[in-house]
Amino acid sequence: MVITYFGKSYFKLTLGDLTIAINPPSKESKAFAKVPRFGADIALVTTNTIDTNGGETVTLGDKEPFVMDGPGNYEVKELLFTGAPSTVVLDGKMYNNTVYGFELDGIKIAFLGLLADDKAMTPEAKEIASNADMIFVPVGSDSLDLTAAKAYKTAVSFDPNVVVPYEYNAATLNQFLKEGGQEKNEAQDKATLKRRDLDGKEGYILLLEPQG
C-alpha cells in the first residue's frame, strides 16, 4: 500500500491498480493552489464541504469513483467499508462527519475525518478506531478545535500501531510530535507499507509531507 498526502484531509491510497481517494476537494475549493488530478476507484467523503466532497476531481479517463459520503456498510471492489456517524462544527455550522473503517493489504485503517472533539465519537466510531492498526487523525488546525495534545491522546487510546496526522499547521504538528516523544521523526513524500512494517510499533507517528 502506498499513501500520498496532499494537505488538509486529502489522501490517496493505492494498492496495485486500486486507488482510493479520501476527502478529495471539489472544483470550487480554494484550499489548494492546484487540485491534484487522478482517477480513483473509490472516494471516501467524511464531511459535505467544498474542501472534502469532490468526487468529480478524482474522475479521470475510464475511472469514475464509487463515492461513499455517509454512515453505513459498503462493499466495493471486494473491500468492506464501515462508516460511523459523528458531528463537527465548522465556521459556526454543524456538519455530519463520518468515521470510516476498512482493511487494505492486511492493514486495518480508521480515518476520523474532520473530528473536532473526541466526545463526538459514537460507540460505532470508537469500535472502528479500536480495531485499527493505523489511525488517521486531524491535528488542531485553524478550523478544528481538537488540540494536538487531545488528538494524540485520542488516537493512542485505541492502541494503534501507527498514527497519521493531518489538518495541521507547523505549531500543532510540533506539539503533536512532542506529545508522542517523536520530535525527530522525518516527513516522507509518501509511505509504502506492508502489514509486517507495523509489527512492534506502538503509536508511531507516520509523518507525510503534503504533495502537489
Could you tell me if residue 129 is inside a domain?
yes
User: Residue 106 pLDDT > 90, yes or no?
Assistant: yes
Highest mean pLDDT among 119-123, 150-154, 158-162, 171-175: 158-162
Residue 212 maps to a domain? no
Confidence of residue 121 (pLDDT cuts 50, 70, 90): confident
Is pLDDT at 111 greater than 70 in this prediction? Answer: yes
C-alpha cell at 195: 502489514
Asked if pLDDT for residue 140 goes beyond 80, the answer is: no
C-alpha cell at position 87 = 458531528
In a domain? residue 10: yes
What pLDDT is attached to residue 200?
94
Tell whether the model's pLDDT for residue 142 goes beyond 70: no
Number of domains in the chain: 1
Q: Which domain CATH number covers 43?
A: 3.60.15.10
Question: Does a structural domain hold residue 72?
Answer: yes
Residue 210 lies in a domain: no
pLDDT at 180 over 70: yes
Q: How confident is the model at residue 92 (pLDDT cuts 50, 70, 90)?
A: confident
- Structural domain includes residue 211: no
Structural domain boundaries enclosing 189: 2-194+201-205
